Amino acid sequence: MSRLKGPRTTSSRKKQHVDLAVSGDVGFRAKTTGLEHIEFVNNALPEINLSEVDTAVSFLGRTIRLPFMVSCMTGGYADALTINRSLATVCEEFRIPLGVGSQRQVLENDRFRKTFQIVRERAPSVPVIGNIGAAEVAGLRVRDAERLVKLVRADALAVHLNPLQELLQPEGNPNFRGVLDGIRRLVGELSVPVIVKEIGAGISGDVARRLLEAGVRHIDVAGAGGTSWAGIEILRAGNNRGNGAFWDWGIPLVPAIRALASLRSKGREFTLIASGGVHSGLDGAKCIALGADLVASARPVLVSLRRGGISGLRRFIRMWEEELRGVMFLTGSRTVADLRGAILSSYQRP
């Protein structure tokens, strides 16, 4: 597969990603998360008062209002300033965490530093997560990683694993040798925790086990069924590239959560974040009942912001909260920890 070098910069790529994510048809085609086959069993005797339901949890040493975060998305090009300012403003209002997009551009030059800095300026009291890609991590010096952390005064640095994207991206870097060692080094030497995430193709039980052995204690499965990054890269590259075979590649969200949750039950403590096609508080509640500690969304958040502005995003999160509270009431779960034990059933669609 030939790789284009040169004219397309990191900044213009980031802009194309956002534009395609909000306007393109970039969902999975046939594959789904699996959440639609799961339902809560109604508890007709919940024995709690709705007003007692408490959705707050602790994450990265801070108390947050909901077990929900805005996933890493953007930064590093001019329009990202407005997007990140809006995301951060609303996350601070709701006291929920957010991640910035890949900070690779900051390693290249200083031009768009502000697009990242604005996040901590507008969200001073919630967990903020920095971000860098697997392809960079193998050769990344710890002092450069610290620069990224410092720029947003991050509570953690996310490393995204995206081999599918690097495979399909015309200017991609499909060299994943040394990534696990790079992650191990960051875990050992960085001043903040490392979160390892996929971007929509899922993390398997085997990969999670290797990450845990390397010392990682926060994993975001980012499973299949939501945003198809193969789809985004195929659309970006134009229709003449015959890579449609990979559009639906990946481990669906539900089996990914189950595989990782089972590792934890074997005695290893780690924070399990569920993302990839989570559209609502009801979806999020199912992820938590399946074993996730926290739930994250990217494209649904961006779409609600693009369509309805800041108030559209507020509506989205308010709805998320109401649905989660509703599920907690209807399952007799006073706390998010109680929701973990809520009874689920899998329905076969006719």
Ligand X SMILES: Cc1cc2nc3c(=O)[nH]c(=O)nc-3n(C[C@H](O)[C@H](O)[C@H](O)COP(=O)(O)O)c2cc1C
Contact between residue 284 and residue 212 where contact means Cβ atoms under 8 Å apart: no
Q: For residue 71, state whether it binds ligand X (rule: CB under 6 A).
A: yes
User: Cβ of residue 54: shortest distance to ligand X, in angstroms?
Assistant: 25
Give Cα separations from 80 to 11, 73, 131, 257 (angstroms): 10, 9, 15, 31
* Cα three-residue angle 110-111-112, rounded to 5 degrees: 100
Q: How far is the CB of 18 from ligand X (least distance, A)?
A: 4
Q: How many CB atoms lie within 10 A of CB 291?
A: 18
Q: Please identify, among the stretches 3-11, 177-185, 197-205, 280-288, the one whose residues bind ligand X according to the rule CB under 6 A.
A: 197-205
Nearest approach in angstroms of CB 42 to ligand X is 28
- Asked if 199 interacts with ligand X (CB under 6 A), we say yes
Q: Say whether 135 sits in a helix, a strand or coil.
A: helix
Round to whole Å and give the CA distance between 72 and 132: 10
Q: What are residue 99's phi and psi, to 5 degrees?
A: -110, 155
β 156-160/98-99 pair status: unpaired
Rule CB under 6 A: say whether 87 interacts with ligand X: no
Reading the block at residue 324, the tokens are 């989660």
Q: Using the minimum distance from each CB to ligand X, give the nearer residue, 53 or 196.
A: 196
Among 214, 302, 336, 339, binds ligand X (CB under 6 A): 302
Q: Which is nearer to ligand X, 16 or 335 (CB)?
A: 16
Nearer to ligand X, 277 or 331 (CB): 277
Position 304 contacts ligand X (CB under 6 A): no
Q: With binding defined as CB under 6 A, does residue 300 bind ligand X?
A: yes
Q: Does residue number 186 form part of the binding site for ligand X (CB under 6 A)?
A: no
Instruction: Tell me how far apart the alpha carbons of residues 158 and 222 are, in angstroms, rounded to a whole number.
Output: 12
Residue from 298, 317, 339, 342 in contact with ligand X (CB under 6 A)? 298
Q: Residue from 98, 129, 158, 285 that binds ligand X (CB under 6 A)?
A: 158
Q: In the chain, at which residue ranges do the beta strands (DSSP E only) sit?
A: 38-40, 57-59, 62-64, 68-70, 98-99, 128-133, 156-160, 194-197, 218-220, 271-275, 294-297, 344-346
The site map against ligand X for 101-140 (x = CB under 6 A) is: xx----------------------------x---------
Nearer to ligand X, 71 or 89 (CB): 71
SS3 189: helix
Q: Footprint of ligand X on this chain (CB under 6 A)?
A: 17-18, 21, 71-74, 101-102, 131, 158, 160, 197, 199-200, 222, 226-227, 275-278, 297-300, 302
